[in-house]
Amino acid sequence: MSAYVLLEDGTRFDGESVGAPVSTTGEVVFTTGMSGYQESMTDPSFARQLITFTTAHVGNYGVSEQFMESDRIHAGGAIMRAAVDYDDAPAAEQGWLSWLKANGVPGIAGVDTRALVRHIRTAGSMRGGIFTADVPVSEARERIAAEPSMVGRDLAREVTIAKPTIFEGEGDGPRIVALDTGIKRSIIRNFTSRGATLEIYPCTTSAEDLLAADPDGFFLVPGPGDPAALDYIVENIKTLLSTKPVFGICLGHQLLSRAAGLETFKLPFGHRGANHPVKDLRTGRIAITSQNHGFAVAGTPGEIIDTELGAAQLTHVNLYDNTIEGIRLLDVPAGCVQYHPEAGPGPNDSLGLFDEFIALFEASHA
Amino acid sequence: MPKRTDIQKILVLGSGPIVIGQAAEFDYSGAQACKVLLEEGYEVVLVNSNPATIMTDPEFATATYVEPLLPGPVTQVIERERPDALLPTLGGQTALNLAKTLYEDGTLAKYEVELIGANYEAINRAENREEFDATMQAAGLRTARNIIATSAEEAQAALEFGLPLIIRPAFTLGGRGGGIARTQEQFDEIVHRGLDASPIGQILIDESILGWGEFELEVMRDHADNVVIVCSIENIDPMGVHTGDSVTVAPQQTLSDRVYQKLRDQAIAVIRAVGVETGGSNVQFAVNAATEEIVVIEMNPRVSRSSALASKATGFPIAKIAARLAVGYTLDEIPNDITKATPASFEPTLDYVVVKWPRFAFEKFPGVDSTLSTHMKSVGEVMAIGRTFGQAFGKALRSRELDAQPDVTGADEELLTRLESPGADRYDLLLELQRRGVSDEELRARTGIDLWYLRELRHLDDAFEGVRSYRAVDTCAAEFEAETPYFYSAWDREASNEVRRGDKPSVMILGSGPNRIGQGIEFDYCCVHAAMTVRESGRDAVMVNCNPETVSTDYDTSDRLYFEPLTLEDVLAIVEIEQPEGVIVSFGGQTPLRLAAGLEAAGVKLLGTQPDAIDLAEDRGRFGALLERLELKAPPFALAQSPDEALQVAPGVGFPLLVRPSYVLGGRAMELVYDTDMLADYFARTRPQGEIFLDRFLENAIEVDVDAICDGEDVWIGGIMQHVEEAGIHSGDSACALPPHSLGAEMLDEIRTATKDLALALSVVGLINIQYAVYGDDLYLIEANPRASRTVPFVSKATGQPLAKIACRVMLGEKLATMGLPEDPCGPHVSVKEAVLPFDRFAGADALLGPEMRSTGEVMGVATDFPAAFAKAQAAAGTQLPSRGTVFLTVTDSDKAAAMGIAAQLHDLGFRIVATRGTASAIKRMGIPVETLNKIQDGSPHVRDWIDRGDVDLVINTPTGTAARSDGYEIRRAAVARGVPCITTIAGGMAAARAIGAARFGEPPVISLQELHRNGVHA
């Protein structure tokens, strides 16, 4: 069956319906990673987004439970140039398209993804939808118009865990409380395999309840949506900061930054991929990083600024566009990075950051 | 960190002649690096014996030495130039090995030359198998179980890993001398061969990981220890086929992110452990898809064939960036060349698929084993880019330019059996079997090819649905705007052209496609010069080519590069987009020339000589009439429509004669026959289709090559070359000297007049190459080719006159009269070009020169006299002439008189002379002491035993016929196997004797092209 992608500015790209034969709307974004399609689809940060894969072929090695980054598909749909459904690659438990279908998630293949990306690069990420051919364009337009804008949208509430859950560490490392705005299994694994125990709380948990858990530190995790819509979490973080070490990744970085008084803004087309160079301005070291964010923290890389929580250094910079990729608070034990050290998918260059996190949590414990 | 200021002068070593395993990619890499270093303000001293390279153009270095890449000459260069640093990572294995030698013999320390890019320890850790394994183990990485042996006895221990075993000699190119042993017999044979092939007499025997997936990662590191992966390459052919012979794909398609990231982590660990401080490395892995086991196969601490491919596949110019890193920059200080706005410290991401396809030339070497193995056998490659794998694969198929379609007839089971021992035709067989309905599971079982590829191949025809438009290679999957992209055609639902044509008029240059024997780097050289000239004229140069090894497919070379197959359909589609002022088809060899008629018919303007003139020169009837009108002599010839007719007309032409089918490349299928029986035998063996040419062969004539340029009014002669070997040896395989060393002034004048008359009569606008034979006192015209020839770069280097550029200016409308060209551009020195032959790579090939071209590359020697220049050329070609020892002579009857002269000369030089009976008795009559050896049929100890034992230092053997397993064949094979210089012509023998004599006066001094050309102009 034919299908099409329609963007809110009226631009249309045709293809074939694959996966579930349904229509859906969301923010149309693109990722330049060349592998890890299953990890991306199950990453909660992609909630309410339709992922355009720039890589030519998707689905080549099937899907497998081990590559799940959460318990379900969070992305709204997959937009691809070519896709296959083979399920007999050595690690495959199911075909990629069968899996999308079984989960009710639509895909569209045969799309000129390059033309689509060039359009988004110029016009910016925007709302759109994947529609089966039987949906008239007029109806498609209406459905896109009904899709809320990503700006101002609180999606953490949609993806957060229902009740507190504990992931025991493989050792006697620190006990860390994570506020779940959309955690990935790679993050959990990176803590537990290093001996840390992770207690995950719904993102709506109050500061009092979090403090009552009395952990060695708090961890702020990635997630979808606009950080500016999450003031209730930001307020909690301010409370936590004065008590225990707080570290964060991605949305967690944006929330911590907002807690320190910095602003966030929406990037024109986001950073999504596995090849972004990030430089630690304190050491000069460059890491190739996994990225997945549509919003960023405003500031001048390298600067040390005064915040409501004391001095803060804007430690990391994205060498593509000079946006902020990491912050360290100098007066309280807190810091964060915008990129994904946990990989899944993407390069493992920054896995060492988890050792640093754990060392800092342990230091506070000692 | 900014660039280093403590070094001013950098020595760069090239890779020498094109050989199997080391081709034009090192010209691409070297030329880029030289350009960058000059831009950065360093003085660059370059040594490379290959004149057909762009990097040896004088403007690419401060001082360019076209000298042998051997310790002696390079030490002389170091003494003269006193460089501060040596960059050894750009000239392939040749440069790396040479740098290692210069370090070990103390030369670098003595002259205080610092190795940059890779230091001695790193080179050693990567190249010495024992060290490499230890290094990998220390880094926690797995290598295949293996042993290192320096004798056949030591090698036996490997048998406990179980057969098959993989045997690889240390320090050789492209695995030369190695192989896969499946039986005890094969094991013994390959061990023996491998020990001989390794310059340090060491082999590595690996446990078999045959059938595992093979992957390569291109890694770059800067001195601040930042590391990036430029590209992943997956071999469709599993382990067991050398990566140079495999069809490969970028980016990798079948690994999950988790496994890919493991490879990435390991590649980074490898470059750190080996300790390559700055620059690029290639790391090869075997991956067991079922168990996810990973084994590190090897790493090259330098730019490589794969890095050239990766550069072209991604738009990340590895060599250029490696050169900047070597002088102190870090990756983030270097801009991404394509986007200009982002830094080089990133990893390219691809929204297309690249397929590389090797080009073989087994038809040139009858009798050789054409099964693919760990020992590289391909002579060139093509690269195709497509929106999908299917598009890329289909375009690669089109780009191969096979002379004949592979034979895919036979029963299914027969074809399946053939697939099990992969050959050059394996994908043709595979596609045929798919058409016949053989299942992918069956094909996988027979080939080990991943099912994903087999399935995509089954739907190849669907790949080209939709419309064609041109997309950009931009390193970033369109995430950022590209400033200097290059293009490929893509088929999508709708057209979306990304070419920004601009307003300038453009000239399109058609390249030469994959390197093969008969069409090599020389033609790419001419195309690059055409692009430079077009740009200088204020027009946009548009390049079309599909060969990833070359300088022409460097996006810096032209204003717009189209990485496309060179078929009429593909080229016309580009013409439609570009609307060029004209198209140049006469610089890229036969490949673009074949398109001339079709382009003309489509109304495309061709610049320079028109197709009709090309046809006139190739049509024997028309051409014969023209020669008659011009009163130029040509050997008698005849044209026959069938073998029967040929046998009838042959006596009228006269024997000996050359026989060949029509329209051939590099003299393919051409043979010399002495009587009707031999002719009948030729037909029985070759079964030619179509027209057959018979040309009277002028025995012992001197062959002459002329390169000239005509603008329709005037003719300028760039160079007259005299072949060292007599007529009958393909001009591409013959050594030649410029200026001629034994032709009189009168004959030279006659040649000049004939050249001018013919060029004007053919209405040539641009280059023409004419081959003559001087037979007695008479000049015969053998053939004329109104296009760029193989000798253009050699003549340009020898004279300092850029022939291809001058010709291109003429084609763009300039007149020779306005250019102020010297009447005789040849300076006071002598230049000798020598061919480099691949016999040592093909077990079973006869090391005999003939009318069929077999050389893969060339070198040049320059000196003040012919013997010294010839000696340099020999040394550069890898034929180290002995200075003393034993020479073995066996020649055909007609050569015996001349052989006596050679024997006398070598005797006077102190050589011990040995010969077979007939030759010995002739020599004895001259009063020269000679020992007689048994012919092989006389029983041991015979001549082959002598050679095998290493008791012979030089072989002079002229052939007595083409009978396959003659004594001569055995002698030549034995010589090649032992690495003993083997000369197969009398003229070559005489030149060698003179060269050995000249060497007595010490190694000839080195001289740079810049000095030569200065002297030449003043002379």
Q: What is the DSSP letter of B1004?
A: P
pLDDT digits (tens, 9 = 90+) for B195-236: 988 878 899 898 888 889 999 999 999 999 999 999 999 999
Q: Which backbone phi and psi does B787 adopt, to 5 degrees? A: -165, 175
List all residues of chain B from 149 to 178 with a beta carbon under 8 Å from chain A: none
Tokens of A48: 């309410």
Q: Which backbone phi and psi does B243 adopt, to 5 degrees? A: -60, -30
Q: Has residue A96 been placed in a domain?
A: yes
Return the residue matching tokens 């507190």: A164
Q: How far apart (Å, rounded) are the C-alpha atoms in residues B499 and B508?
A: 15
Q: Which of A121, A146, A171 is the last residue of a domain?
A: A146
pLDDT, average across residues A205-230: 96
List all residues of chain B from 203 to 242 with a beta carbon under 8 Å from chain A: 224-226, 228-229
Return the residue matching tokens 């016929």: B961
Q: Which of A146, A175, A204 is the last residue of a domain?
A: A146
Under the banding of pLDDT at 50, 70 and 90, the label for residue B953 is very high
pLDDT digits (tens, 9 = 90+) for A303-312: 999 998 899 9
Domain around A267: 156-365
Q: What is the mean pLDDT of chain B?
A: 92
Strand residue runs (E) in B791-856: 830-836
Whether A129 and A224 map to the same domain: the answer is no
pLDDT reported for residue B1019: 35
Chain B environment of A279 (Cβ under 8 Å):
332, 345
Which stretch of DSSP H or E encloses residue B577? helix B568-578
Whether A135 and A206 map to the same domain: the answer is no
pLDDT reported for residue B906: 94
**What letter represents residue A97's amino acid?**
L
pLDDT reported for residue B950: 85
The more confident residue out of B374 and B532 is B532
What residue of A is the nearest CA neighbor of B353? A56
Under the banding of pLDDT at 50, 70 and 90, the label for residue B668 is low
DSSP characters over A237-258: HHHHHTTS-EEEETHHHHHHHH
Under the banding of pLDDT at 50, 70 and 90, the label for residue B965 is very low
How many Cβ atoms are within 10 Å of B925's Cβ, its own excluded?
10
pLDDT, average across residues A60-75: 97
Whether A104 and A252 map to the same domain: the answer is no
Q: Has residue A151 been placed in a domain?
A: no
Flag if A66 and B258 touch (Cβ within 8 Å): yes
Enumerate long-range contacts of B618-627, CB under 8 Å, 24 or more apart: B618/B663, B620/B693, B623/B784, B626/B758, B626/B761, B626/B762, B627/B758, B627/B781
List all residues of chain B from 280 to 309 with a beta carbon under 8 Å from chain A: 289-290, 292
Any known ligand binding at A294?
yes
Q: Is A317 left (phi over 0), alpha (psi -120 to 50) or beta?
A: beta
Distances (CA, A) of B710 to B612, B707, B732, B762, B763: 16, 10, 23, 10, 8
pLDDT reported for residue B961: 53
Any known ligand binding at A225?
yes
Lowest mean pLDDT among A95-104, A316-325, B376-385, B981-990: B981-990
pLDDT reported for residue A37: 98
Q: Has residue A279 been placed in a domain?
A: yes
Q: Which backbone phi and psi does A47 adopt, to 5 degrees? A: -55, 140
Residue B495 distance to chain A (closest CA, Å): 9
Beta-strand pair B353-359/B248-250: antiparallel
The more confident residue out of A213 and B971 is A213
Q: Which of A94, A125, A146 is the last residue of a domain?
A: A146
Residue B360 distance to chain A (closest CA, Å): 29
Tokens of B822: 């010297």
Tokens of B73: 């000459």
Tokens of B209: 């990981």
Which stretch of DSSP H or E encloses residue B876? helix B866-876
Whether A273 and A318 map to the same domain: the answer is yes
* Identity of the residue in A30, A90, A348 whose CB atom sits nearest the CB atom of B265: A348
Whether A167 and A136 map to the same domain: the answer is no
pLDDT reported for residue B662: 67
Question: Nearest CA to B217 among B300, B324, B278, B138?
Answer: B300
Whether A133 and A166 map to the same domain: the answer is no
Instruction: Quote the percentage of chain B above a pLDDT of 90.
Output: 72
pLDDT reported for residue B175: 65
pLDDT reported for residue A366: 54
Lowest mean pLDDT among A163-177, B110-124, B334-348, B880-894: B880-894
Q: Has residue A45 been placed in a domain?
A: yes
Beta-strand pair A197-202/A165-167: antiparallel
Chain A environment of B353 (Cβ under 8 Å):
56-57
Q: Has residue A167 been placed in a domain?
A: yes
Residue pair A85/B380 in contact by the 8 Å Cβ criterion = no
Residue pair B209/B286 in contact by the 8 Å Cβ criterion = yes
- pLDDT of B689 > 90? The answer is no
**What letter represents residue B260's amino acid?**
Y
Domains and their CATH numbers in chain B: 9-116 (3.40.50.20), 145-207 (3.30.1490.20), 213-350 (3.30.470.20), 636-696 (3.30.1490.20), 702-826 (3.30.470.20), 868-999 (3.40.50.1380)
Sheet holding B637-640, edge to edge: B637-640, B692-696, B657-661, B671-673
pLDDT reported for residue B892: 83
Q: Has residue A176 been placed in a domain?
A: yes
Whether A129 and A161 map to the same domain: the answer is no
Chain A environment of B477 (Cβ under 8 Å):
32, 54-55, 114, 117, 273
- How many structural domains does chain A have? 2
Whether A19 and A99 map to the same domain: the answer is yes
Residue pair B855/B762 in contact by the 8 Å Cβ criterion = no
Flag if B257 and A86 touch (Cβ within 8 Å): no
Whether A184 and A87 map to the same domain: the answer is no
Q: Which of the residues A74, A203, A250, A276 is marked catalytic?
A: A250
* Identity of the residue in A60, A288, A344 whose CB atom sits nearest the CB atom of B253: A60
Whether A22 and A127 map to the same domain: the answer is yes
Flag if A35 and B264 touch (Cβ within 8 Å): no
Interface with chain A: mutation pick from B1, B220, B252, B257, highest number of A CBs within 10 Å: B257
Whether A62 and A113 map to the same domain: the answer is yes
Residue pair B607/B583 in contact by the 8 Å Cβ criterion = yes
Whether A340 is catalytic: yes
Q: Which backbone phi and psi does B405 adopt, to 5 degrees? A: -70, 140
Question: Nearest CA to B49 among B1009, B843, B826?
Answer: B1009
Whether A278 and A361 map to the same domain: the answer is yes
- pLDDT of A112 > 70? The answer is yes
Under the banding of pLDDT at 50, 70 and 90, the label for residue B469 is very high
pLDDT digits (tens, 9 = 90+) for B614-662: 889 988 889 999 999 999 999 998 989 989 999 999 999 999 998 887 6
How many Cβ atoms are within 10 Å of B420's Cβ, its own excluded?
12
The more confident residue out of B182 and A4 is A4
Q: How far apart (Å, rounded) are the C-alpha atoms in residues B406 and A284?
A: 56
pLDDT digits (tens, 9 = 90+) for A282-329: 999 999 999 999 999 999 999 999 998 899 999 999 999 999 999 999
**What letter represents residue B10's amino acid?**
I
pLDDT reported for residue B1018: 36
Flag if A14 and B493 touch (Cβ within 8 Å): yes
Residue pair B608/B807 in contact by the 8 Å Cβ criterion = yes
B258 touches chain A (CB under 8 A): yes
pLDDT digits (tens, 9 = 90+) for B323-368: 999 999 999 999 998 999 999 999 999 999 999 999 999 888 877 8
Whether A8 is catalytic: no
pLDDT, average across residues B121-147: 92
Under the banding of pLDDT at 50, 70 and 90, the label for residue A280 is very high
**CB neighbour class for B47 (10 Å; exposed up to 12, middle 13-18, buried from 19):** buried
List all residues of chain B from 368 to 407 with a beta carbon under 8 Å from chain A: 387-389
pLDDT reported for residue B963: 43
Which CATH number characterizes residue A34's domain?
3.50.30.20
pLDDT, average across residues A245-268: 97
Question: Nearest CA to A54 among A28, A92, A75, A76?
Answer: A28
- pLDDT of A102 > 80? The answer is yes
- pLDDT of B397 > 60? The answer is yes
How many Cβ atoms are within 10 Å of B2's Cβ, its own excluded?
9
pLDDT reported for residue B199: 78
Report the Cα A280 to chain-centroid distance in Å: 21
Q: Has residue A202 been placed in a domain?
A: yes
What residue of A is the nearest CA neighbor of B498? A115
- pLDDT of B770 > 60? The answer is yes
Flag if B342 and A319 touch (Cβ within 8 Å): yes
Which stretch of DSSP H or E encloses residue B287? strand B279-288
Which CATH number characterizes residue A313's domain?
3.40.50.880
Lowest mean pLDDT among A362-366, B337-341, B482-486: A362-366
